[in-house]
Amino acid sequence: MKRPRRKARSAWIDIIFSVAILSLTAFAVFLFMKPTDHQSNASGKKEEHRPVPVIVDQIASNYPGIKIIIETSNDKRTPFAIQYPQSIHSEFNEEVTKYITDIREQYINDSEKKTAKNDDVTGELNIAFETLLHHSGNYSFVLFNSSSFSDDQNGVMEIRSFHLNPETGERFTIADLFAHDLEKLSALSTLLREAIYEDESLKNHLLIDEIHLRTEPSWRNFNNFALTDEALLFYFDPATIAEESVGPAIINIPLDRLKGIISDEYQLPEHQPQNQDTDASNPIDHNGKEGKQSEKVERDDEKVSDDQDSTKDAETPIENVEKKVALTFDDGPDPKVTKQILEVLARHDAKATFFMLGSRVEYYPELAKAVMEAGHELGNHTWNHPDLTKLNADRVRKEIANTSKIIEEVTGEQAKSFRPPYGAVNQSVRAQTDLPVTLWDVDTLDWKHRNANKLLEIVKGNVKDGSTILMHDIHQSTADGLEDVLNYLEAEGYTFVTVSELD
Ligand code: ZN
């Protein structure tokens, strides 16, 4: 009696034992497969995530009045390394710390949402900054903030600038640099666009439509900037003006190009050599910075630039120099507007350059011929006005060659220069033509405001000796406003030359 019972009992024990061994083995296998940081789960209860304390450090910077705050967290899920500047001025300090706090909180929140679904997701957050100094004593701080999570290939990168006069505590803005003047803003917009198109590192990667939106003359488009003794720099987050693959874009406008529009106190320091090859910034060396410095290395040879002229301006009294300006009209010919423009120009005996579209020359051959016979210069503006940087070489060649061909057929004269639509040009576009490429330095934005009075306003605010003025002979307002523009320029002592005469 006892024996069978004992047998039965030992059979139960055997079963329990086997099950126990099996589950232990399974558990051991499970542990072996799982990442090591979850071994603490062997205790059986679900481990609570406990954030580790943040280490805050403070060091002196190389810049008087500025200290660097370093916050580090070695938390497993949400590690971060954050550096930011602080001064003795509380408003500035609060502005910066609010920005930092918002980013840090957003990062922790994002992490919580992700780990609620998947325990294993880990994040990364880095904020580093550069300090750039202007001789006026003003500081620009540029913060590079990048974050990512292990479950997402694409991280986020954002650039944000802060500005401080360390003496007064004043936080200057881009509008302060340009005296809150809208005409100057418009000139800045043009210069920035030009600089973007000239930037070697962005070539073939530009997002043309985005560039036009983000450089429109509105102060908030220019908020992310830094001022040095050589240049004004503008920062764009990745995938804003150029493809994501090229990262953030840093566009450099040499200060000598901003002469006359940037306020006096931010002008070039006197007796400072104006060397465009100098590195525009002297960033503090710090780790974790991913923003690349895109220095302007070369300038477009063909580009109508006032480079030599403007460096001489400092010594040469302007009154003694014969001032020249090139008027240019794009996108025509147009049966009504071009005719009217020809009449206005004839009254002033002014010669201009017309960048024509091949398709319109084909449509209005007599008009194209009339422009030539009136003594104006003809330029090539492609057949259909595409963004050439987005076409393959073969199509680019055809756009340009067919237009040159029809201009010559119809007028008997060759186009003397080439202007790419939207000013969008790169090496492979240039390689498709022998014609010199002509851009502009004064953008009247006539296509946008369609306002005859505004045409004069913008010319007044931006023209200088050697300028090339961009207009369009397809807008009635341009024809209507031209008389005033010519009167003004004559009164200012300008002579009108064609684009090739300006070179
Ligand atoms: Zn055009």
| pLDDT confidence of residue 273 | 37
Specify whether the CB–CB gap between 197 and 427 falls below 8 A.
no
DSSP string, 189-235: HHHHHHHHHH-GGGTT-B-HHHHHHHTSS-GGGG-SEEE-SSEEEEE
Catalytic pick among 472, 473, 475, 480: 472
Of 326, 338, 336, 267, residue with least CA distance to 485: 326
Active site residue 381: no
Averages of pLDDT over runs of 10 residues in the chain (503 residues) are 46 58 54 44 53 82 84 89 93 96 95 92 90 87 92 87 91 94 94 91 89 93 92 94 88 90 79 35 33 31 37 42 92 93 97 95 92 98 88 91 96 96 90 95 90 94 96 94 97 96 88
Per-residue CA distances from 167 to 96, 109, 458 (Å): 18, 38, 36
- What pLDDT score does 11 carry? 57
pLDDT at 25 (0 to 100): 55
pLDDT of 272 reads 37
How far apart are the CA of 331 and the centre of ligand 1, in A?
5
pLDDT at 385 (0 to 100): 87
Distance (angstroms) between ligand 1 centre and the Cα of 166 equals 46
Asked if residues 354 and 334 have their Cβ atoms less than 8 Å apart, the reply is: no
The pLDDT assigned to 16 comes to 57
Active site residue 286: no
| The Cα angle at residue 411 between residues 406 and 412, in degrees rounded to 5 | 95
Q: Are 473 and 481 in contact (CB under 8 A)?
A: no
Both structure tokens of 487: 């009167």
Catalytic member of 75, 229, 330, 441: 330
Tell me, in angstroms, the distance from the centre of ligand 1 to residue 424's CA.
10
Q: Give me ligand 1 centre to Cα 381, in Å.
A: 7
Q: Tell me how far the alpha carbon of residue 192 lies from the centroid of ligand 1, in angstroms.
A: 18
